[in-house]
Structure 1
Amino acid sequence: MRVFVTGATGWVGSSVVAELLEDGHSVAGLCRSDANVASLKAKGVEPIMGSLADIDVLAQAASDADAVVHTAFGHDFSKFPEHSEQDRRVIEAMGKSLVGTAKPMLVTTGLLMLAPGRVATEADMPPLSDPKYPRKTEAAVKVLTDAGVNIGVVRLAPTVHGVGDRMFMAILAQTARETGVSAYVGDGTNRWCAIHVSDVGAVYCRALEANLPMRAYHASAEEGVMFKDIAEVIGRNLGLPVESRPREHFGWFAAFAENDAPTSSMQTRKALNWQPAGKTLLEDLSDPAYFSYAV
């Protein structure tokens, strides 16, 4: 297949691209800079210049491909509503170019807030009608599904971890450095599911190759790691005390820090014959190299 990938040079997108190439597919990747063009060409990927604002470019690239993987999303969390609305527009534009075809399209969302307080499964649906639910990804997927598009969603664990990670684990480490304490909320027994970056690309690749046998896939290797345990490993690595702090300690990150999001991926593993093999989150965080840089 010729697969068009947004976010092809990103943390998750790079894993997807590597898996697709290893399986013999050709890849076209969206990129915004000359440096990324060179990086993609070096891997044998066709660069397509543009950004998520270039709706016409995205729609044409999707139309020209045999399959589409959408991993790109803005990471300025102060602008999350704007990024969510952009995500909806991008998904619907690319998806509409596939109407009347059987081409598979996979888009990306997260697992936090899917089923707070209990183990989420692939059968769960986010509260699309709840204005407090921030992501619009699956609402866009429903519109396209109703239009007959062959589309599915990969729900990512809140931490796709690995040395080089600049997302939530790095943010927690930076907060600990700035405040002098590696903190958790309450008793710290809320749980985060997790997956190593080396495992995530296979979920996308195998789902495409199987022509989307399900509509929702969980890219999660560990069902739930207690947040206090995460804080303890970070504190040990940085030589900082580990303490419970009120949610306000985390600022904008509070809703994430207190979220309880245990998640099963058993249906995904069975449907795709997939078994994650990367390091666990706590094993990964125990490597001093994990926190050798700032956010």
Structure 2
Amino acid sequence: MNVLIIGVTGYIGRAVAAAARRAGHEVAGLRHPGGHPLPEGVRAVDGDLADPASLTAVAKGFDRVVHVGPPLGEETDLAGVDALTAAGVPVVYTTGAAVLGSEPSDEDSDPDPHPLIRWRAEAERRVLAAGGQVVRPGMVYGNGGGLVAGLLAPKAAERGAGVYIGEPGVRWPVVHAEDLAGLYVAVLDRTGPGIWHGMSETVRLDELAAVLGDGRTVSWPLEEARAEIGGIADLFVLDQQISATKTRNRLGWNPAHTSLLDWLRARS
């Protein structure tokens, strides 16, 4: 297929582009003025995610549009969804685990979005109504990026102990970047609306902190964390138990990386 990836120069987008090319798809990437160079083998298509009205013309002619770009805010994100779906091309749209609450949930559970990203549930609804696909990744790690490498590991080095925000015991779903990229490739072959969970396991954040801190951990008070990293700190106290069983069974998705903690220990 001829696939347009929005966010192709980002952490997830680069992995998805490489996986899609390995699967034999032709890949183009949205490039806004002054943006980063595109990955090797990816054709540039000029456009700007911050200019939603332009996206309809950009998307026309492709077989699929994969949106792994960053959230820009309610008004811009929803206008962008409307513009992409207006092109008549099936959209694979990325949200995340935070659109679900703290109750045990799966692909069929109703969204219960955290206020920080409340509009993303509406974005999902619009994509599904247009016959598109929604991918909800957990916390992504590997390939040198993500919150583990970009926030938690440096914070552990700074404090001499692994940090977790708030109380111990909070659980998060996680996934390796390469496994997640494989999921997007599997989703490209789907037709009709669908929700898919990109989560290979659930990890306790205090146990993750212990590995990063060589057995030493410290709680990072929520107010202090908010002052340093902003509203994302609130997500670190959201305890989540989210199943990806339907995704695995229907897509035949079998992640190769099934233990973030073992993966980190092997690199220490």
TM-score by length of 1: 0.80
Task: Kindly indicate whether residue 117 of structure 2 is the aligned counterpart of residue 134 of structure 1.
Answer: yes
Report the CA distance shift for 1:243/1:34 in structure 2 as closer, same or farther (over 3 A): closer
Shift of 1:63: 1.4
Q: Counterpart amino acid of 1:110? A: G
Q: Which residue of 2 aligns with 1:183?
A: 163
Which residue in 2 is equivalent to 1:69? 66
Q: Deviations over 1:26-61 (max 9, x none)?
A: 111112367844x43x32x21112321133442212
Partner residue in 1 for 2:25: 25
What do residues 255-285 of structure 1 show as CA deviations (whole Å, max 9, x unaligned)?
1221211211000011111111125211233
Give the alignment of 1:274-285 within 5 angstroms. 274-278=253-257, 280-285=259-264
* Compared CA separation, residues 125 and 133, structure 1 to 2 (3 A): farther
CA distance in 1, matches of 2:200, 2:53: 36
- Check whether the contact 1:127–1:133 (CA below 8 A) recurs between aligned residues: no
Tell me if structure 2 keeps the 8 A contact 1:113–1:259: no
**Gapped runs of 5+ residues in structure 2?**
none
Q: Equivalent residue for 1:88?
A: 78
Structure 1 segments (4+ residues) deviating >6 Å: none
Partner Cα distance (1:61, 1:283) in 2: 42
Q: Are residues 206 and 258 of structure 1, via their aligned partners in 2, closer, same or farther at CA, if it must alter by over 3 Å?
A: same
Find the counterpart in structure 1 of residue 223 from structure 2. Answer: 248
Q: For the residues of structure 2 that align with 1:58 and 1:283, how far apart are their CA atoms?
A: 42
- Residue 261 of structure 1 aligns to a residue whose secondary structure is coil
Match of 1:123 in 2: 108
| Other structure's SS at 1:65 match | coil
Post-superposition shift, 1:10?
1.3
| Count of aligned pairs | 264
State the AA in 2 paired with 1:88.
L
Unaligned runs of 5+ in 1: 75-81, 290-295
Instruction: State the alpha-carbon separation in 2 of the partners of residues 90 and 287 from structure 1.
Output: 41
Distance 1:120 1:235, change over 3 A: same
**What is the alpha-carbon root mean square deviation over aligned residues?**
2.5
In the alignment, the residues of structure 1 paired with residue 35 and residue 123 of structure 2 have an alpha-carbon distance, to the nearest angstrom, of 32
Contact conserved, 2:167 with 2:237, CA < 8 A, in 1?
Answer: no
When residues 28 and 269 of structure 1 are mapped into structure 2, their CA distance, relative to the original with a 3 A threshold, is same
Instruction: Quote the offset at 1:172 in angstroms.
Output: 2.0
Could you tell me whether the CA contact under 8 Å between 1:114 and 1:126 is conserved in 2?
yes
Please, which of 100, 103, 113 is the counterpart of residue 114 of structure 1? 100
Percentage identity across aligned positions? Answer: 29
Pairwise CA distance, 1:73 = 0.7
Shift of 1:69: 0.6
Q: Distance in 1 between matches of 2:34 and 2:220?
A: 44
Q: Establish whether residue 15 from structure 1 lines up as the match of residue 12 from structure 2.
A: no
2:207 alignment partner, one of 229, 247, 258: 229
Q: Distance in 2 between matches of 1:202 and 1:176?
A: 30
- 1:33 & 1:218 partners in 2: Cα distance? 33
Matched, 1:153 2:138: no
1:71 Cα deviation after fit: 0.4
8 Å CA contact retained: 2:99, 2:120: no
